[in-house]
Amino acid sequence: MRVIALLMAAGTGSRFGAERPKQYLALAGRPILRHAAEALLAEGGVTALLPVVAGPAEAREAEAALAGLPCLPAVQGGATRQASVRAGLEALAAAPPDVVLVHDAARPFVPAGIVPALLKALQDVPGAIPAQPVSDTLKAGESGRILRTVPRAGLFRAQTPQAFRFAPLLDAHRAAREEATDDAALLEAAGLPVALLPGSESNLKVTYPEDLARAEASLLPRLLPAMGTGFDVHRLVEGRPLILCGVTIPHPLGLEGHSDADVGLHALCDAIYGALAEGDIGRHFPPSDMQWKDADSTAFLRHAAGRVAARGGILTHVDVTLICERPKIAPHAEAMRARVADLLGIPVGRVSVKATTTERLGFTGRGEGIAAQAAATLLLPA
């Protein structure tokens, strides 16, 4: 049986209030829709995914986020969810699958057992959805006043993925004359039975910022802390810019090295790689490789952050200490914190940059070079 899952990612996420659609925001270091995709595929019943997106730019972002997973080329959706689902179905019509699942890209967790149960239910009915009974008291209201209490007996909250035999769902979409909030409603309107299966409270949809916080919290029991440290030294020389933690500092001397010699970022990269047990910066960017000659060290830090994301981890805190007599670091520390936070994609409140001296002792005390040490704290899947 060929099963294609439509990963619905065409929404703008206006209720969330972020600068980009919520499905592309990071959850434990990876986009929410990546979590949703992996959850759909986890039990082996889904043949491939078909992302339905807002436009070409989002198609590129979705395809990058889903790299390595069995995906068909992304399809551009429509102005409404119903139009977007239909666009996905029409894209499959030339080589129709037996079954199609429709899943919100903003639902990162598909509890174990739901996909197999949905597929089994389709042996008897053309559609099946997971749903949770309504447990709260329901009120109908207007202008801030209660009009009446709505009986909750027999009411359910629909979830996704919703599963359908392909042909009946496509026919229902083509025949639809009114907008429906989910695909099961279109089969209902056509007089076709839809099975109601037990849903799960863990199958949350990220709609508001507090939902993302709940999703992060639900992952924490599956993560273990890891910590790494890094240390680096570079000589001060004439004729080079002085770049520390991604910020160019006015100074008559700069740091000598194969790349731009940003000693702060180099130490931080080593700390992150150490927490991942993935060696050091020289392993990933060998100084013998001429492509890294005079390279911008911000690329190295982005790579280190990418390795955390690829491992499904969360970068919780970083701390960099710059060791030098000159220049004075304090006037530039806040700019450095902001730059590091931007490169790592974490709040600036989780970044520390500070400085110390060696009381004029040693090579740093004599102004011959600058040293840096760093620590990085991560949460990684057990």
Separation CA 150–CA 137 (nearest Å): 8
**Helices 81-92 and 166-175: angle between axes, nearest 10 degrees:** 130
In the prediction, which pLDDT does 19 show? Answer: 73
In the prediction, which pLDDT does 310 show? Answer: 78
In the prediction, which pLDDT does 49 show? Answer: 97
How do the pLDDT tens digits run along the chain, 382 residues long? 899 999 999 987 777 877 788 899 888 778 899 999 999 999 999 999 999 999 999 999 999 999 999 999 999 999 999 999 999 999 999 999 999 999 999 999 999 999 999 999 999 999 999 999 999 999 999 999 999 999 999 999 999 999 999 999 999 999 998 899 899 999 999 999 999 999 999 999 999 999 888 988 888 778 899 999 999 999 999 999 999 999 999 999 999 998 999 999 999 999 999 999 999 999 999 888 888 888 899 999 999 998 998 787 889 999 999 999 999 999 999 999 999 999 998 889 999 999 999 999 999 999 999 999 999 999 998 7
Separation CA 283–CA 258 (nearest Å): 14
CA atoms within 13 A on the CB side of 324: 28
| Dihedral Cα 318, 324, 329, 335, nearest 10 deg | -40
